[in-house]
Structure 1
């Protein structure tokens, strides 16, 4: 009986990990296919899909290559395709929590055992994915003489990529543990060990409303992207962005709407599959990084200020839902503090996940450095500003939402006491 139960537990963990990996692989493959990566030479498509999955869980992909004494390439890529991340996270979280909902209680030992089994199989899957995420391409220098010279000397320039296995496993494990913690915190129907029950009323409603806000932004972004694909053309490019980086843009919009900011730089000759105001700001050349916030975006499109209105409405709704889902009689100031902390933590995670760092280049015949024939793309959040505005907005929205929620609950209780809520004929 015990062996059967253990075998069933391992089967559930395997199904959980398999679902997460499959969801990530499908979304990554569809996004890369829409971006035209299916035409990559030498059967590189599968390796590129694996590389995208590696970066989706926080791993890094290293770029390198050489052509003897003629050319040397190098660079690095650190970007999280959050559409792929979100697909895997939702599949993993749902299947991890589903069996637990059939139990009224759970013990700390049983919960840790479930996490451990899932983590072991997850690390094994990540190892296989990281080993598959490597490939080498032949590249054209662009100068006919150097191309011919390279071929004559057997030193054709190549560039390759490979996943860093150690960091991928480390960050991938951290990603899984954070995901499971958030899933447990946001799920009201999943039982918790007795030692964690005291945090249930203070943590779960706040975690739930922030997860809903983030998902709502993704849904709104998806609708806007589909409309843009249908009405403005470039459907393949648009769907590539939606399938690879939709949450990156949607959650940046949330942070910017609250007053946060990102800094970045992009060489002018690199195409950006992002909204035009964002691309315009990042392409401004003055020798340094550009700040992306409401002010800089509105200089190119006055509608950018609608991001502030949308963020305010989203947080006010979150404050109201927080009050309704919290125990009756919770003071508005407590709700304000809880929402403030939840918003600040959420924006900190968003800021860390929406970073982009890509350095690439080619050095020819030992002349110059690797940046002479390449460039650098970077984008990172101003975390102090982002988290600070998150705290302020959370306090305000939590307090107002708390007052509104308390008023709604009192009104409902008053109606029930007068019998207005009773069904007809009851």
Structure 2
């Protein structure tokens, strides 16, 4: 029963966040009852699944479309709910056998598999795309060439990746939670891995909280509340975790053309809307808005804070240089994860009777990808320095494994 509550709760939470985000983004107005399938498709992509776009505009026209993006707000919501449900029965336990943990995870995985199959089968739909009221629209209606856009899922691949996603969430939940039991053979790893894992999760969640506060302030000051809530509910981690890596000095490459655009903040769209592939980093962003240098300051505060939390949760016998190494390794893995899930790619093209082309005025393209090894390389010195600083700040904090002598009365 607890496994069922965990899986249903996770899927329901993801569905609510995805539906509200899509509604705020205007997807409720999609034709032919596409809202529910689009919501299902959003949930599939949130766990790493693949959604394939297709186009059909008759014999006289051609369409082409593609989309690769992970709605990380939906992903984060599902991960937190599933992790909480998975850990709840394991509270107040010192040690759990590997067989017991595997059995509990297996029950959750079996139900999650059924839910994934249902989502992937529901995430398919086809609907008409309006060409407008001008000459192009009249030609499309005359020759029966009004385009239809459809999407479907690669069921085997999406189910496989979704199961890998679940495994990652369950493993990370065990690593982060101090109260969750581990098999006896893994207890020796908890003093080095658990504090670092907890610190990185706290770091990522802190970025999201700061992003929400900034977004709400901007919405209150400048309006566009509906668009802001769409970003919060669908892709706020995409933005704030990107900002975290940029504050470290990382560079992302990208380009925006046509009707596509990055919703928030506007300076990203300005930098990327160039004839050639643009670089997105502190230097290029500062040419449009000097306030981006505050990202550097925020990263220093957040990373030192995360390192302090890691050191405070570690046994007292761990030395400062060991904290620095642990912090560097954890930050490298975190930045690498952001580089994997933060990529964005979208394109759409349409041609009717030779008017327009698949990549020109009737289409658009957006992509954003990181310079992975540069970002990962920068994470090493950042982790070493902030890890050492956090360890020094935590020297006077009473930690597990520390014994203080008491003066005899």
How far is 1:399 from its partner? 1.1
Q: Which residue of 1 aligns with 2:157?
A: 167
Q: Which residue of 1 aligns with 2:264?
A: 274
How far is 1:167 from its partner? 2.0
Q: Which residue of 1 aligns with 2:221?
A: 231
How far is 1:294 from its partner? 1.0
CA distance in 2, matches of 1:298, 1:138: 42
Q: TM-score, normalising length from structure 1?
A: 0.90
Q: Which residue of 2 aligns with 1:261?
A: 251
2:375 aligned with 1:375, yes or no? no
2:56 to 36, 52, 66: 66
CA distance in 2, matches of 1:357, 1:226: 27
CA distance in 2, matches of 1:276, 1:39: 25
User: Structure 2: where are the runs of 5+ without partners?
Assistant: none
CA distance in 2, matches of 1:201, 1:414: 17
How far is 1:88 from its partner? 0.6
Show the 5 A alignment for 1:343-422. Answer: 343-365=331-353, 370-372=358-360, 373-409=362-398, 417=406
Q: Is the 8 A contact 2:357 2:363 kept in 1?
A: no
272-281 vs 148-157, which deviates more? 148-157
Q: Which residue of 1 aligns with 2:202?
A: 212
Deviations 1:301-325 (A, max 9, x none): 1111111111111111122222221
CA distance in 1, matches of 2:394, 2:137: 70
CA distance in 1, matches of 2:367, 2:406: 60
2:4 aligned with 1:17, yes or no? no
Q: Is the 8 A contact 2:145 2:352 kept in 1?
A: no
Q: Which residue of 1 aligns with 2:282?
A: 294
CA distance in 2, matches of 1:388, 1:378: 23
How far is 1:391 from its partner? 1.2
Q: TM-score, normalising length from structure 2?
A: 0.94
Q: Which residue of 2 aligns with 1:5?
A: none
How far is 1:46 from its partner? 0.6
CA distance in 1, matches of 2:406, 2:68: 59
CA distance in 2, matches of 1:102, 1:382: 43
2:89 to 91, 99, 102: 99
2:235 aligned with 1:245, yes or no? yes
Show the 5 A alignment for 1:185-224. Answer: 185-224=175-214
Q: Which residue of 2 aligns with 1:422?
A: none
Q: Which residue of 1 aligns with 2:292?
A: 304
> What SS class does the counterpart of residue 357 from structure 1 fall into?
strand
CA distance in 2, matches of 1:210, 1:270: 32
1:323 to 282, 302, 311: 311
1:37 to 14, 22, 27: 27
Deviations 1:178-201 (A, max 9, x none): 111111111000000111111110
How far is 1:133 from its partner? 1.1
CA distance in 1, matches of 2:17, 2:223: 22
> What SS class does the counterpart of residue 266 from structure 1 fall into?
strand
2:301 aligned with 1:313, yes or no? yes
175-184 vs 202-211, which deviates more? 175-184
Aligned Cα RMSD in Å? 2.2
Deviations 1:367-413 (A, max 9, x none): 88632331221011111111111111101111121122224449xx8
User: Structure 1: where are the runs of 5+ without partners?
Assistant: 1-10, 420-425
CA distance in 1, matches of 2:248, 2:406: 40
CA distance in 1, matches of 2:110, 2:363: 40
How far is 1:158 from its partner? 1.1
1:81 to 63, 66, 71: 71
CA distance in 2, matches of 1:389, 1:418: 47
1:334 to 302, 322, 342: 322
> What SS class does the counterpart of residue 394 from structure 2 fall into?
helix
CA distance in 1, matches of 2:107, 2:404: 50
Q: Which residue of 2 aligns with 1:136?
A: 126
How far is 1:166 from its partner? 2.1
Pair 161,369 (structure 1): closer, same or farther in 2 beyond 3 Å = same
How far is 1:148 from its partner? 4.2
CA distance in 2, matches of 1:42, 1:414: 68
Q: Which residue of 2 aligns with 1:4?
A: none
CA distance in 2, matches of 1:315, 1:156: 53
CA distance in 2, matches of 1:295, 1:417: 55
